[in-house]
Structure 1
Amino acid sequence: MTTGTSYTVVSNDGTCSSAASASFVNAVQLSTPVAPILSVVNATICSGERAIFQINGAANNIVTYSINGGSDQTVTLSAAGVATVEVVSSMVLVSIELLNISNGNCSLAISDVASVTVQPCSIPKGISPNGDNLNDELDLSFYNIEKLDIFNRYGTKVYSKSNYENEWRGQSDNGNELPDGTYYYVIDFTDLETKTGWIYINREHK
Structure 2
Amino acid sequence: MSEPNDTGALHSALGTELFVLQSAASSTISEAGTRSTIYLSTLSGGLVAVGFAGSSPSLLAVLTFTVFPTIFMLGWFTVVRLVDTSVESITAKQRMTRIREYFASLHALGPTLIAQDDPRTTGELGVRYARSSYLFTMASMVGAVNSVLGGALVTLVLTIGLGLRTLPATLIGIAVGLVVLLATLRYERRRIRSVTSGSADASSSR
Specify if TM > 0.5.
no
| More helix by percentage | 2
TM-score normalized by structure 1? 0.25
Q: Which has the higher contact order (CA 8 A, sep 6+)?
A: 2
| More strand by percentage | 1
